[in-house]
Amino acid sequence: MAHSSRRTPVLIGALVGACLMLVSACATRDERQVVSGEAVSAYSDPFTVAGLPVSDGPNGLRDDAADTALDIRGGDDGEIDDLMGAALADLETYWKQAFEPAFKTSFKTGLSFVSWDAESPQSRSVLFCNEPTFGQVNAAFCPTRDEIGWDRGVLMPALADAFGPMAPVTVIAHEYGHYIQMIGGFDKDTSPIVSEQQADCLSGNFIRWIAEGNGEFLQINTGDGLNTAVAALISARDSRRGRSDHGTAFERALAFEKGFRSGPATCAAITELTIDDLRDQMPPRFDNAGAIDTSPFTEAGLESVVQSVEAFFDLPDTARPSVLTDRIEQPCSGTSDQQAALPVAFCPDTNTVSMDPDELALIATNGTSGPSALPSFIGGDFSAYSLVASRYSLATQRARGQVLDQPVTAARAACFTGRWARSTADSGTFTLRGGDLDELVSGLLVSGAVASDVAGRSLPSGFSRIAAFSAGYFGDEKGCARYDP
């Protein structure tokens, strides 16, 4: 997926699970109108995604989509090539409209497209970027030949199986973004991380256009469809120093979100300076050995997180909740099935935060490791620890007299968790590591438990969950005030 004629294969390895269990957006517009509770600003409406209503519905090819008749060298006219043809046709339509207003120069067509099966015998290998494609599990843009190519045999089917049909589309939109950089006058001498972040952002521009219903061939909903598009991108995060420099999962999600919320010119404004500024606000990405910096879940770590959370929220004795670290408090009146399924719970009746350490340990190990994997879920210790902070934040909301069973409750929980996470850089009790934010953003996309209300009901959009956490992490208490009436 690099902007280069030298294509390092993206090895699939073991994909965790055949599909993601994502929380779909089930509320209709009419249902949202009758929900009572606290008002919230339109900017932070938990039922919108960057101004679009959270929607449920089909993803991928439209039922009424015609044949694109796109010339794909080496193609087999199968499902993947049909999907790629549809994506490329819609991409050209979008950029014909968006390119000149953004970059003040004319859009140039003339790309050619190549498809191959990485598992085909070497004798049947086609050339891409003037190199044989035998064994190339990859998708790429070749700037020397104006070609975009993809492996229809291994990579794209694996992405579609793990994340749904819009995953391959998002990847090819990223590659098309490299073409846009080339013809749009982007700095050709910039570093790989800038180029890749810009391409993630440009892919977000296109997916926004599809989400608005403009695609002739493609469609995506803003619930699970958008969640899986982002999840596909972050599955190819940098796992070791110098391995690829596409960015961490958190960085890739933020770049895509920037493109989804803003126009293409915003993507061109991504520079080393803006990336360095972002990284200055995050923990170092890699440990001394060059690996993504993580830490195992331990009971001692859990105790330090509890101490850190208690110190950060600093509630008066009359409002400070009791904390049970060895079991879930039972019974708690009004407990829902969603709440009962969580390994950490807040019971407002007794003002108690309780947790099951064994279940938390399972969350912390439910992931994949190694540079050859494209994980559908990036698990780790912070997957568990962030949930503790989120449930403790409900006690803070209780102390403020705020509602605990509304979507705005869930948004505040994620936002307060972001504030706490940022504070750990100076607390000394518990400190974020480089991989923690990747685990957090993956959890927000997959389950959303950190962004859930007291009953365990998550915000319907992974985008909204990430936005709420980011508002707290990159802001301050005023950043979370957007979720107040």
Confidence of residue 211 (pLDDT cuts 50, 70, 90): very high
Assess whether pLDDT exceeds 50 at residue 66: yes
Task: Answer whether 448's CB lies under 8 Å from 226's CB.
Answer: no
Q: What is the mean pLDDT of the chain?
A: 85
Residue 171: how many CB atoms within 10 A of its CB?
27
> To 10 degrees, the CA torsion angle through 199, 204, 207, 212?
-150
Q: Compute the distance between CA of residue 420 and CA of residue 323 in angstroms, rounded to an integer.
A: 17
> Which residues have a Cβ under 8 Å from the Cβ of 79 and sit 6 or more positions away?
none
Is residue 374 very low, low, confident or very high in pLDDT (cuts 50, 70, 90)? low
The type of residue at 478 is: K
DSSP 438: H
pLDDT band at 290 (very low <50, low <70, confident <90, very high): very low
> Which pLDDT value is given to residue 433?
82
Contacts of 51 (CB under 8 A, 6+ apart): none
The answer, yes or no, to whether residue 446 has pLDDT greater than 60, is yes
Prior bond of 46 cis (ω within 30°): no
Mean pLDDT of 255-270: 96
Q: Is the pLDDT score of 23 beyond 50? A: no
pTM score: 0.85
- Backbone phi and psi for residue 483, each to the nearest 5 degrees, phi listed first: -95, 10
Asked whether residue 117 carries a pLDDT value surpassing 90, the answer given is: yes
Averaged over 290-297, what is the pLDDT? 65
CA 357 to centroid of chain Cα atoms = 27
Q: What is the pLDDT of residues 32-42, one digit of tens each?
A: 222 233 333 43
- C-alpha distance from residue 243 to each of 117, 120, 247 (Å): 24, 27, 10
Q: Which of 97-111, 445-459, 465-479 has the lowest mean pLDDT?
A: 465-479
pLDDT band at 434 (very low <50, low <70, confident <90, very high): confident
pLDDT-derived band of residue 73, with 50, 70 and 90 as boundaries?
Answer: very high
Q: Which residue has the higher pLDDT, 1 or 353?
A: 353
Residue 95 pLDDT exceeds 90: yes
* Strand-pair category, 72-73 with 112-116: parallel
- In this predicted structure, the answer to whether residue 4 has a pLDDT above a threshold of 60 is no
Cα–Cα distance list, 262 to 166, 182, 183, 190, 203 (Å): 20, 20, 20, 22, 12
Q: Where is average pLDDT lowest: 39-53, 128-142, 323-337, 349-363? A: 39-53
Q: Is the pLDDT of residue 27 over 50?
A: no
Q: Please report which helix (H) or strand (E) contains residue 480, including its range.
A: helix 477-480
Domain map (residue ranges) of the chain: 57-279, 299-483
Burial of 265 (0-12, 13-18, 19+ CB in 10 A): middle
Is pLDDT at 187 greater than 50 in this prediction? yes
State both tokens at 211.
């989400």
Confidence of residue 20 (pLDDT cuts 50, 70, 90): very low
- Rounded average pLDDT over 252-281: 94
Give the residue, 386 or 69, on which the prediction is more confident.
386
Q: State the Cα–Cα distance between residues 252 and 201, nearest whole angstrom.
A: 8
Q: Which residue has the higher pLDDT, 150 or 36?
A: 150
What average pLDDT does this structure show over 103-112?
94
Phi, psi of 193 (to 5 degrees): -65, -35
Distance CA 194, CA 99 (A): 20
Confidence of residue 365 (pLDDT cuts 50, 70, 90): confident
- Give the residues across from 219 on adjacent strands: 60
pLDDT of residue 238: 54
Residue 282: the pLDDT is 84
Is 58 or 284 the better-scoring residue by pLDDT?
A: 58
Q: Region 146-150: what's the mean pLDDT?
A: 98
Cα atoms in the Cβ-side hemisphere of radius 13 Å centred on 323: 21
**Cβ–Cβ < 8 Å for 136, 151:** yes
